[in-house]
Chain A
Amino acid sequence: MSSDTNPIRDAIAEAIRDNKTILFMKGTPEQPACGFSARTVAALQALDAPFAAVDILPDPRIRQELSALSNWPTIPQLFHEGELVGGADIVAEMSGSGELADTLGLAQAESAPAPEADAGPAPLGIENRLT
């Protein structure tokens, strides 16, 4: 086996590249298999953030290759636009401070000022929604 052929690592790198926001976790968003993963999913769902999710449990090599790629030893791992945002602790911290919404490019429900009336007709200019 050639050492530069690493289909699992390639697939992980591709998933990170192709998905704007992607969470590597234990279990699924519907059924997280670990409290840290559950909390991270909850933080994303609280923002209505669209994200792709990968369950790392089915194959231990996924975690091994992911951690080698990201230089991050624990699960979950959240990536946005190809960059590691953090694990459960960082996501929790960012979620509490409102930073998570900013980082993910989401409008923040509670602190976003409502557009003022003098802005004219329906404020359609800004679309922060991810599709």
Chain B
Amino acid sequence: MPTTDEIKRRIEAAVPQSSAEVEDWTGGGDHFRATVVSPTFDGLSRIQQHQLVYAVFGAEIGGPIHALSLTTRVPEQA
């Protein structure tokens, strides 16, 4: 069963310059919610941004990861 830390690490390793916050939505270890911030998302549609993150997990989504709810953002300009 994946942990929030593991999901966070995998997203941050796969999506360039990203930072992810992951929480276990239900406490059951299979419904997760993640907020991912990365400059890579700039210029991509929301669909493409989410696809980038979903691609990290492939067939695990729908399997061991029953649901991964996503919010994606480009970092705010400082």
- Where the two chains meet, the residues of A that have a C-beta atom closer than 8 Å to any C-beta of B are 36, 63, 67, 71-74, 84-90, 93
- Report the bound CA distance from A24 to B71 in whole Å: 21
Chain A: minimal CB distance from B22 (Å): 14
Contact A90 B46 (CB under 8 A): yes
Contact B46 A88 (CB under 8 A): no
Residues of B within 8 A of A72 (CB): 47, 50-51, 54
Q: Report the nearest A residue to B33, measured CB to CB.
A: A89
A-B contact pairs, 26 of them (CB 8 A): A36-B67, A63-B62, A67-B62, A72-B47, A72-B50, A73-B54, A73-B59, A73-B61, A73-B62, A74-B54, A74-B61, A74-B62, A74-B67, A74-B68, A84-B47, A85-B47, A86-B46, A86-B47, A87-B50, A88-B69, A89-B50, A89-B69, A89-B70, A89-B71, A90-B46, A90-B47
Contact with A along B43-71 (1 / 0, CB 8 A): 00011001100100111011000011111
Residues of A within 8 A of B50 (CB): 72, 86-87, 89-90
Q: Report the nearest A residue to B61, measured CB to CB.
A: A73
Q: Report the nearest B residue to A87, measured CB to CB.
A: B50
Residues of A within 8 A of B62 (CB): 63, 67, 73-74
Residues of A within 8 A of B51 (CB): 71-72
Residues of A within 8 A of B71 (CB): 89, 93
- Report the bound CA distance from A90 to B69 in whole Å: 10
Q: Report the nearest B residue to A75, measured CB to CB.
A: B62
Q: Report the nearest A residue to B70, measured CB to CB.
A: A89
Chain A: minimal CB distance from B26 (Å): 10
- Report the bound CA distance from A71 to B52 in whole Å: 10
Residues of B within 8 A of A84 (CB): 47
- Report the bound CA distance from A85 to B48 in whole Å: 11
- Report the bound CA distance from A71 to B55 in whole Å: 9
In chain B, positions 3-39 with a C-beta closer than 8 Å to chain A are none
